[in-house]
């Protein structure tokens, strides 16, 4: 034992007599604090600083025999602003059918697995919306290089999902991102048919990927619709025509049920949980409490969300429509923005707006959006004529007449879970656009494998992240795993990369 540690241990021992804490050496020197901070940052990040030399990526040797594949090849040394070699990838537009005059094409970017990843597996990723580009997930959440808020340039992602297997990002349905054609989807089966058509054409070119174990993942409101419906479509209709072996589903922060369930019932409870973050005045808090009481929100969880559930869970009022007097979620957002102009419904802990290459969700600057740059489009074989937008704010809706499909909890989600080997639903606990407790309500209200809801409760500290410790709660029963991650915002793999990679495994 060196003299220093000896002394520290002794101090710790003396303190230990009076303290409930285990013996911990005190860290007071700024240098030591900085060393600790850098160690911690490594655990949540984004790899080396842009200035540090980055070793060339080591990826599994994957080659495609079809000469058409080479038209899609992306040279990993040429991606604008990325100052390291990302390794080989493939990107471009592929039609959704074999018809020679097919005008509808989806844009994809495919990455092979890292050295320790599996060549037997293929992960599919989609963002939600509807109409949000999946290239957001690639560059901000789980891709091999990330350009997150506050970063001056992209950096390598130590926790890329390519560490696990190949990953395929697709901008879907028609009307999203660089994808081509006139949107005409009327429901989720139309979306599923488009995507399956695309995948069939994709596999004709990249036929080495045929037969892979397939994991269908995505985020947000609309991934909650897309993933169960497309999975159901694949299980029920295309087992013989789509040469992929669908094994698992991942949805983070999805919509599975009505707005009133995901947003209104848990809104005031959420404010109390983060009372010091919202910093509302007492009069307003009292008003919120009286709305919650009047509208049957305040005791909803205690009364109805039991483990196991006692029968079907009721709506708090007469219908799924929200009475103006019972509108809590919108009112809270308005009040929060008044106090904290940086209020971010996707991650309520924010108190400042960082520079962001996307100018989203809050725009602090005018930037040319990365994917709208001609040099970026050139490298990834994207159409130069498309004004790329993260969401088609200005373009036609991807569902021109709306989406008539019902929320999946009442329709296809149970089948998708039952037919998959593993389904995962993840929720960031600092997300207010969709609230974790709403998802808990949904999960206690539908049947999987002949039984309703989880039988056992989510225990404190039940979600343990390697090298970090407890970071939330989880429960796993009958093929469905549900995880709540502390501090994570809506874009969970971006906010909580280590935890997300671990859950995805
Ligand atoms: C990758 O695989 C191809 C085809 O199997 C082979 O020709 C090539 O030499 C391999 N490259 C490396 C770097 O192993
Ligand atoms: C992921 O792969 C990269 C590149 O090979 C490697 O540097 C990194 O340590 C891997 N991350 C994990 C969590 O294994
Ligand atoms: C709350 O529940 C009670 C009893 O179930 C019901 O009579 C009442 O209408 C509900 N309140 C609202 C605002 O829906
Ligand atoms: C309390 O907050 C509410 C909602 O933002 C606001 O309308 C009201 O003026 C505030 N009252 C005080 C005393 O700050
Ligand atoms: C779980 O933690 C909460 C505080 O967050 C506490 O009130 C509750 O008693 C704990 N539950 C158990 C079973 O320890």
**Are 18 and 78 members of one domain?**
no
DSSP assignment of 412-426 equals THHHHHHHSSEEEEE
The phi, psi pair for 417, rounded to 5°, reads -70, -45
The answer to whether the CB of 65 is under 6 A from ligand 1 is no
Q: How far is the CA of 338 from the centre of ligand 4 (A)?
A: 9
| 490 is annotated as an active-site residue | yes
**Are 54 and 39 members of one domain?**
no
**Are 31 and 144 members of one domain?**
no
What tokens were used for 80?
Answer: 């604008």
> From the candidates 304, 347, 427, 490, which is the catalytic residue?
490
The answer to whether the CB of 319 is under 6 A from ligand 1 is no
What is the signed CA dihedral for 48, 74, 138, 361, rounded to 10 degrees?
100
**Are 151 and 256 members of one domain?**
yes
**Are 9 and 89 members of one domain?**
no
Closest ligand to the CA of 470: 5
> What is the spatial distance between Cα 370 and Cα 390, in angstroms, rounded to a whole number?
10
> What is the spatial distance between Cα 6 and Cα 10, in angstroms, rounded to a whole number?
6
What tokens were used for 198?
Answer: 């695309």
Domain region containing 32: 3-43
Closest ligand to the CA of 473: 5
**Alpha-carbon radius of gyration of the chain:** 24
Residue nearest to atom 13 of ligand 1 (CA): 61
- Exposed/middle/buried for residue 332 (C-beta within 10 Å: 0-12, 13-18, 19+): buried
Per-residue HEC secondary structure of 114-170 comes to: ECCCEEEEEEEEECCCCCECCHHHHHHHHCCEECCCCCCCCEECCCCHHHCEEEEEE
pLDDT at site 28: 63
> From the candidates 220, 257, 420, 423, which is the catalytic residue?
220
Q: How far is the CA of 61 from the centre of ligand 1 (A)?
A: 6
Closest ligand to the CA of 281: 4
Per residue of the chain (505 residues), give pLDDT as tens: 344 444 444 444 444 445 566 555 555 666 777 777 777 766 655 554 545 556 666 788 889 999 999 999 999 999 999 999 999 999 999 999 999 999 999 999 999 999 999 999 999 999 998 889 999 999 999 999 999 888 888 999 999 999 999 999 999 999 999 999 999 999 999 999 999 999 999 999 999 999 999 999 999 989 999 999 999 999 999 878 999 999 999 999 999 999 999 999 999 999 999 999 999 999 999 999 999 999 999 999 999 999 999 999 999 998 998 889 999 999 999 999 999 999 999 999 999 888 887 766 555 556 678 899 999 999 999 999 998 888 876 666 899 999 999 999 989 999 999 999 999 999 999 999 999 999 999 999 999 999 999 999 999 999 999 989 999 999 999 999 999 999 999 999 999 999 999 999 9
The phi, psi pair for 6, rounded to 5°, reads -60, -50
Residue nearest to atom 2 of ligand 2 (CA): 163
> To which H or E segment does residue 214 belong?
strand 213-219
Mutate to test the pocket of ligand 2, among 157, 158, 499 (most ligand atoms within 8 A of CB): 158
Residue nearest to atom 5 of ligand 4 (CA): 335
Q: How far is the CA of 318 from the centre of ligand 3 (A)?
A: 7
The answer to whether the CB of 61 is under 6 A from ligand 1 is yes
Q: 135 to each of 140, 178, 220, how far by Cα in Å? A: 8, 10, 14
pTM of the entire predicted model: 0.90
CA dihedral sign, ordered 153, 159, 165, 170: negative
Sequence-distant (≥ 6) Cβ neighbours of residue 230 within 8 angstroms: 188, 191, 192, 195, 196, 216
- Exposed/middle/buried for residue 315 (C-beta within 10 Å: 0-12, 13-18, 19+): middle
**Are 86 and 114 members of one domain?**
yes
**Are 85 and 129 members of one domain?**
yes
**Are 29 and 154 members of one domain?**
no
Q: How far is the CA of 53 from the centre of ligand 5 (A)?
A: 46
**Are 376 and 416 members of one domain?**
yes
Please, how many CA atoms are within 13 Å of residue 362, restricted to the half-sphere of its CB?
18
First-to-final CA distance of the chain: 40
What is the signed CA dihedral for 370, 201, 407, 480, rounded to 10 degrees?
-90
**Are 15 and 58 members of one domain?**
no
| Beta carbons within 10 angstroms of residue 220's beta carbon | 28
| 276 is annotated as an active-site residue | no
> From the candidates 45, 423, 431, 500, which is the catalytic residue?
431
Residue nearest to atom 8 of ligand 1 (CA): 61
| 253 is annotated as an active-site residue | no
**Are 106 and 57 members of one domain?**
yes
Q: What angle do CA 445, 448, 453 make, to 5 degrees?
A: 35
pLDDT at site 364: 55
> What is the spatial distance between Cα 336 and Cα 178, in angstroms, rounded to a whole number?
35
Q: How far is the CA of 458 from the centre of ligand 5 (A)?
A: 11
Residue nearest to atom 14 of ligand 3 (CA): 317
> What is the spatial distance between Cα 297 and Cα 291, in angstroms, rounded to a whole number?
8
How many domains does the chain contain in total? 2
**Are 121 and 266 members of one domain?**
yes
DSSP state of 264: I
Nearest-CA neighbor of 473 among 429, 433, 438, 441? 429
User: Which residues sit with their C-beta closer than 6 Å to ligand 4?
Assistant: 281, 283-284, 335, 338
CATH code, domain carrying 397: 3.40.50.1820
Closest ligand to the CA of 63: 1
List, in sequence order, every residue forming a beta bridge with 74; answer none if it has no partner: 89
């Amino acid at each position: 034992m060196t003299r220093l540690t000896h002394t520290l241990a002794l101090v710790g021992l003396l303190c230990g007599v009076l303290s409930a804490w285990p013996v911990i050496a005190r860290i007071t020197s700024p240098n030591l604090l900085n060393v600790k901070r850098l160690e911690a940052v490594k655990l949540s990040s984004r790899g080396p600083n842009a200035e540090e030399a980055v070793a060339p990526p080591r990826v599994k040797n994957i080659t495609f025999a079809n000469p058409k594949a080479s038209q899609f090849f992306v040279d990993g040394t040429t991606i604008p602003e990325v100052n390291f070699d990302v390794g080989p990838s493939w990107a471009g537009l592929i039609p959704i059918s074999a018809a020679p005059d097919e005008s509808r094409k989806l844009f994809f970017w495919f990455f092979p697995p890292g050295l320790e990843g599996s060549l037997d597996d293929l992960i599919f990723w989609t963002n939600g919306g509807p109409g949000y580009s999946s290239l957001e997930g690639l560059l901000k959440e789980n891709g091999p290089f990330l350009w997150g808020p506050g970063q001056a340039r992209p950096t390598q992602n130590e926790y890329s999902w390519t560490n696990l297997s190949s990953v395929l990002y697709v901008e879907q349905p028609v009307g999203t991102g660089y994808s081509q054609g006139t949107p005409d989807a009327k429901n989720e089966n139309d979306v599923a048919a488009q995507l399956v058509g695309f995948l069939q054409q994709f596999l004709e070119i990249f036929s080495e990927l045929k037969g892979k174990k397939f994991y269908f993942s995505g985020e947000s409101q609309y991934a909650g619709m897309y993933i169960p419906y497309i999975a159901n479509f694949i299980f029920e209709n295309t087992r013989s025509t789509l040469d992929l072996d669908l094994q698992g589903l991942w949805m983070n922060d999805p919509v599975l049920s009505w707005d009133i369930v995901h947003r209104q019932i848990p809104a005031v409870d959420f404010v109390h949980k983060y009372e010091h973050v919202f910093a509302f005045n007492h009069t307003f808090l009292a008003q919120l409490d009286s709305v919650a009481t009047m509208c049957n929100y305040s005791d909803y969880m205690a009364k109805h969300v039991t483990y196991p559930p006692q029968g079907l869970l009721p709506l708090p009022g007469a219908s799924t429509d929200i009475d103006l007097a019972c509108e809590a979620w919108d009112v809270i957002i308005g009040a929060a923005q008044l106090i904290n102009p940086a209020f971010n419904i996707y991650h309520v802990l924010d108190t400042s707006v960082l520079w962001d290459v996307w100018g989203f969700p809050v725009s602090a600057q005018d930037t040319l959006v990365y994917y709208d740059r001609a040099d970026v489009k050139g490298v990834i074989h994207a159409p130069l004529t498309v004004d790329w937008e993260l969401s088609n704010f200005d373009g036609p809706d991807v569902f021109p007449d709306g989406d008539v499909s019902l929320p999946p909890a009442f329709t296809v989600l149970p089948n998708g879970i039952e037919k998959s080997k593993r389904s995962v639903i993840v929720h960031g606990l600092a997300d207010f656009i969709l609230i974790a407790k709403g998802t808990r309500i949904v999960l206690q209200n539908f049947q999987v494998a002949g039984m309703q809801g989880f039988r056992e409760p989510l225990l404190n500290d039940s979600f343990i992240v390697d090298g970090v410790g407890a970071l939330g709660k989880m429960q796993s029963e009958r093929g469905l795993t549900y995880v709540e991650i502390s501090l994570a915002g809506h874009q969970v793999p971006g906010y909580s990369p280590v935890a997300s990679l671990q859950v995805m495994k």
